[in-house]
Structure 1
């Protein structure tokens, strides 16, 4: 039986997530990132997620082989896991059966942009390791913000530095020097490849990450580790409340602003309880 499990692991390779299977097998024990990936990431952030997720609906964007989906499902959540890569979905569905979690995780071959045509809402949106791979990242963040009822776990590749420029409220059109400051919110565009990956499109700085989160209607509540941000809904800062560009993407009334504001208010009450 053990040899059969290893045969199936090999047949489904190559793997990016090192899953520790109930059989004792690991899917990629010698990970090129070093260490036990993504277990070491999970150890950094697990304390920021409720231990009991019973009744929670979770969205895992870019689920890969399902590591985070499984950890959240083990805490009682009902998980919708998205990925566009058929190999990853095959791996995740096979692994879900190994863990006995196939009834708690729904896998979909879907892009994040497809959610703009949906009314679905999620208590927790897991958005790690995807943002910088997207050609239209801020659009994706806006879409996911409007689907987030309680919290979002956000992670992206980022530029070095923690600087934040103190005054980004407004400047005359002739005063552009502040835009060159290391702390001005910005993203570097990757035209060709970065880390030998042509899907690495953007690398934001810390100030840019926080500014984009705020602009999409989210507030940072914690930073468990480098490049990782825990967020809660904050519709008051959302540009989609006044910028009509989003009407071309979001069906009118699909996710009313009032519903988002109510969710944010409920979250604030729960956080203060």
Structure 2
């Protein structure tokens, strides 16, 4: 069945030693990324409701379910969801995970919120990434794990609270929060739309209402609710209502 469901992007370790993508170009992926995350989450997630956005073949959903969480796993790709549902059955984790085909934007129309949200490997593939981040941030009760493709470097420039138009050259500083737009392709993928720098990622997270509490590895941010709570929050909420509330 592994061959029938190919190609796989997640290397899932199945009973009997079978792996779904043992020759993955990124190694034992995403287990090698999970190793850098798991110690920064509670070891017991019983009673937690978790959301895995862009779940792909389900590796992270399985990891959260093993820690005791009840997981909602969403992806807009039907092929990945077929892989995930099959693998969950092989691992006896199906009762703990609900798989659903939906986009991240559709979360705006749901009333549910989650104790833990994984928003990893998705942001830079979105045409409207800040809209998605604003939607997701409003669904987080306790923790969010955020990961996105990033520019090299960790420098952060002190932007202050305001800048005059004559000071626009400051925006060229390497540490100014910014995000590069990819018009065509990167790594052969036309959906690699955006590449932010570290300062840009942290600024966007704050602006969406999240506080970065840990940065356990490159491109990985552990967040909790409690970022900016000023006019920005009201502005975002009003915009989301105008977009998604029934007329």
Q: Is TM (by shorter chain) over 0.5?
A: yes
Within the alignment, does 1:247 sit opposite 2:238 as a pair? no
Contact between 1:65 and 1:91, CA under 8 Å: does it hold in 2? yes
- C-alpha separation between the residues in 1 aligned to 2:91 and 2:144? 25
Partner of 1:116: 108
Within the alignment, does 1:13 sit opposite 2:15 as a pair? no
- C-alpha separation between the residues in 2 aligned to 1:117 and 1:127? 18
Q: Residue 182 of structure 1: SS of its match in structure 2?
A: coil
1:22 CA drift (Å): 1.6
1:241 CA drift (Å): 2.2
Work out which of the residue numbers 90, 93, 97 in structure 2 matches 1:101: 93
Q: Deviations over 1:56-86 (max 9, x none)?
A: 0000000000000000000110000000111
Partner of 2:73: 81
Contact between 1:214 and 1:237, CA under 8 Å: does it hold in 2? no
Contact between 1:142 and 1:240, CA under 8 Å: does it hold in 2? no
Contact between 1:19 and 1:67, CA under 8 Å: does it hold in 2? yes
Q: Identify unmatched segments of 5+ residues in structure 2.
A: none
Work out which of the residue numbers 44, 50, 59 in structure 1 matches 2:51: 59
When normalised by structure 1's length, the TM-score is: 0.87
Within the alignment, does 1:24 sit opposite 2:36 as a pair? no
Work out which of the residue numbers 146, 153, 160 in structure 2 matches 1:161: 153
- C-alpha separation between the residues in 2 aligned to 1:250 and 1:76? 33
Q: Identify unmatched segments of 5+ residues in structure 1.
A: 1-7, 253-273
Within the alignment, does 1:207 sit opposite 2:188 as a pair? no
Q: Residue 4 of structure 2: SS of its match in structure 1?
A: helix
Q: Residue 167 of structure 2: SS of its match in structure 1?
A: coil
Q: Number of residues paired by the alignment?
A: 244
Contact between 2:70 and 2:97, CA under 8 Å: does it hold in 1? yes
- C-alpha separation between the residues in 1 aligned to 2:234 and 2:39? 33
Across the aligned residues of Structure 1 and Structure 2, the Cα RMSD in angstroms comes to 1.3
- C-alpha separation between the residues in 1 aligned to 2:228 and 2:203? 14
1:95 CA drift (Å): 0.2
Contact between 1:218 and 1:237, CA under 8 Å: does it hold in 2? no
Contact between 2:206 and 2:228, CA under 8 Å: does it hold in 1? no
1:245 CA drift (Å): 2.6
1:49 CA drift (Å): 1.1
Within the alignment, does 1:36 sit opposite 2:28 as a pair? yes
Contact between 1:240 and 1:246, CA under 8 Å: does it hold in 2? no
Q: Deviations over 1:224-260 (max 9, x none)?
A: 11000000001544623234333323539xxxxxxxx
- C-alpha separation between the residues in 2 aligned to 1:242 and 1:170? 18
- C-alpha separation between the residues in 1 aligned to 2:84 and 2:160? 43
When normalised by structure 2's length, the TM-score is: 0.96
Q: Residue 40 of structure 1: SS of its match in structure 2?
A: helix
